[in-house]
Amino acid sequence: MVIFMSRILWNSRFATLATLWLLTFSAQLKAAESSSVSFVNDVLPMLTRHGCNAGVCHAKAGNGQNGFQLSLLGFEAEEDYEHLVKEARGRRLFPAAPEKSLLVLKATGATPHGGGRRITEQSEAWQILVKWIGDGAPWDGKQAPALTSLTVEPGKGQVERNGTQQLRTIAHYADGQQRDVTGRALYESNDRAMAEVSESGTVTAFDIPGKVAIMVRYQGRVSVFNASIPLGAPVPAVPEIRNFVDELVFANLRDLGVPPSARTDDATFLRRVTLDIAGRLPTAAESRAFLEDATPGKRDTLIDSLLASPEYADFFAGKWTALLKNRRDDASDITSNFAFHAWVRDSLLSNKPYDQFVRELLAATGTVIANPPVAWYKRVREPKQQQEDVAQLFLGVRMQCAQCHHHPFERWSQDDYYGLTAFFSQVGRKPTATRGEDMIFHKRGIAGATNIRSGTVLKPSALGTEIASIGPDEDPRLKLADWMSSPQNPFFAKALVNRYWKHFFRRGLIEPEDDIRDSNPPTNPELLAALEKHFVDSGFDLKALVRLMTQSSAYQLSSAPNESNIVDQQNYSRYYPRRLQAEVLLDAIDDLSGSKTDFPNLPQGTRAIALPDNSYNTASPFLRVFGRPENESVCECERGQSSSLSQSLHLMNAGDIRGKLASGGGKADQLSKSSQPVENRVTELYLQAFSRYPRASEMQTAVEYLTAAQTDAAGAPIDSPQPSPESLQDLIWALMNTREFMFNH
């Protein structure tokens, strides 16, 4: 009897709850149909506009802010509705007096709010909130027309220096309607030193000429206004056009009215290209021979000889192994690190096609002894990290944000993230007889990765590209490599040529070099497209790409600005000087001082650019101080390139520098014992340090210092004084502390 009565009561309660739910749902549906305010298309964009669902506010990871959670930038509308309307016993909304709702009072600052006052009374945002709450806070997720695209008018244009341009933003919906959302969209400049944009979409240009992009974001859609800010100076002539690089660089400079500098002299070119390709200074003998050579094509010949040199492979192997995280965590890493570095170096030396190089890396199987690229899977173990590294390094796409939410500046979703991760889901590993080394293999099975938010298991997909079904016996990584190396791939070749352009020109056509997205356009899109096509057509030939760039007059421009292009920072009207990398600078100091650095467990005479991993940073204070990376990131930003007081002090007075200068058999010791005229000894030092002959004033100052009045043991003046080792050490020390020595110009 008790059980029977309990069932009656339970059924009664259930019926009551069901009735209440139906009444509530019907009321919301009726309100949604009659309300002129849409939660999806009005309320959420307003919250985004005023920063309520930004990552530093209520969309903060975890529990949001003070227990109130919203999805980042409103990408999860249904969740946000639940948080606003149903959480906290509904206390955030007060339909009977909507202007007294906690949500409104907090936003207007009428009630204490950690985020401060976000909107004002009677503003459009206030009216939207009050009207929506007063209408019963309806949910219109099923009825609201979806936003299909966003356009900004104009899409591109010219803005005079210190001039303005008003933008107009139009939202396009699935039902065909269009809305002017200029006052509701978010605007952001990709270079605030060149131009800023107001909340109402007014662009204000400054004095720096070039290309700037204004990103416009609304409801998860992004559009871009590309602005050209001309200098307007006359460009009567440009240097010799040597290839399409020059055509497109100089055409852009003519459009902007930015005259380029002249081509640089032979000495500067010799030093510049040797540092950029081989990572070393030319020897004094090489400098003398090149300066005395009158052959018209000697610069092209030099480029070819550098590309054929082992130093080219050493230098670029250091670049690639750092990006591929070849680091030593314990003693068991030695074998794999050396083998991996040797594989990268040999691939570069033999000019292995870039697509083949990437394929061998991604699809590596077996043991590190038999197949060295397997070592990458030792450092990057998790499928998600493998996917993120591959996307950023080889595609120039940063996918990290899309793991938890829709990418805020790009079209990539969580499904894109996990679809790309699925290519690595069948990578298996098992221990081998070698301590710390695993055998990598393809596990039989259907590849897939689970979206942590939706719980959906996603098959491999490649950033908007459908991939044919992959059988359980097929390695998905091979399918990924096929897609990446396809001539139609919009990222693979572009990412590489942009990365190499930055290496030789200091600034990428897209900056940062590994952040390729619609909202971060290139400064010279025609040039980037032409470089990409050339690279694909060449069969992904890395040496041909280097040759193309360094043979151009654009690369060979002087770093000395003229009166017009001194403000240019992105259009390559001159060569932009940069400090030598830590390894290159250490080798340059060794060459100038004549004293080599010894590295533990490596053959004597091993150059710093040939070090296989990060472990030698510990043994060399110099490499640490000057920013050699620890190989923990695929971003080149890990390398420290900024100057610091500790660097200056190290060059001025560190023990290792003093030891190199005073070493027996070093350059100062050798020249002090030489029978050559003092002028010849000074010339040798200048050729080694700067790849040029000393100017008359420099020669006079150096000779006077080296031959200053000296006396013999009895105190009598010496008629023909010879430079002492100490005076030569001083001269070498002075040369290595100059900006001309420490920078590639």
> Per residue in 112-160, pLDDT tens?
787 788 878 888 888 888 888 888 888 887 788 888 999 999 999 999 9
Alpha carbon 595 to chain centroid distance?
36
Residues 6+ apart with CB under 8 A from 18: none
Q: For the stretch 543-572, what's the b/e string if a residue is b when 16 or more beta carbons lie within 10 angstroms of its beta carbon?
A: bbbbbbbbbbbbbbbbbebbebbeebbbbb
What is the fold of 147-229?
Immunoglobulin-like (2.60.40)
- Count CB-CB contacts under 10 A for residue 515: 19
- Which tokens hold the place of 522? 């290139």
What is the chain's alpha carbon radius of gyration, rounded to the nearest angstrom? 32
Half-sphere CA count of 66, side-chain side, radius 13 A? 7
**What's phi and psi for 669, nearest 5 deg?**
-65, -45
Give the count of beta carbons closer than 10 Å to the beta carbon of residue 109: 15
Burial class (CB in 10 A: 0-12, 13-18, 19+), 397: buried
Please give the structure tokens belonging to residue 411. 């079209």
Contact predicate 28/138, CB 8 Å: yes
pLDDT at 713: 56
What stretches in the chain show pLDDT beneath 50?
A: 1-33
What pLDDT shows up at residue 355? 96
Q: If you search the block for the tokens 């509530």, which residue do you land on?
A: 24
Instruction: In whole angstroms, give the CA distance from residue 443 to residue 428.
Output: 5
pLDDT at site 121:
83
CB 703 within 8 A of CB 731: no
User: Can you tell me the distance from the alpha carbon of 57 to that of 470, in angstroms, rounded to the nearest whole number?
Assistant: 42
Residue-level pLDDT at 172: 94
Distance set, CA 483 to CA 420, 461, 480, 545, 700 (Å): 12, 10, 5, 22, 63
Instruction: Give per-residue burial for 160-178: e unless 16+ CB within 10 Å, then b.
Output: ebeeebebebbbbeeeeee
Q: What is the pLDDT of residue 717?
A: 61
Residue 211 burial (10 A CB sphere; 0-12, 13-18, 19+): buried
Asked, as a colleague might, if the bond just before 154 is cis with ω within 30 of 0, I would say yes
User: Count of alpha carbons within 13 Å of 585, Cβ hemisphere only?
Assistant: 29
Parallel, antiparallel or unpaired: strands 457-458 and 202-205: unpaired
**Strand partners for 65:** 68
DSSP β-bridge partners for residue 228: 158, 211
Q: Which distant-in-sequence residues (6+ apart) come within 8 Å of 478 by Cβ?
A: 359, 363
419-429 CB burial, b ≥16 within 10 A, e <16 = bbbbbbbbbee
The structural domains of the chain, with segments of one domain joined by +, span 1-31, 147-229, 244-309+504-567, 353-486
Q: How many helices (H) does the chain have, and how many strands (E)?
A: 29, 16
Give residue 229's pLDDT: 94
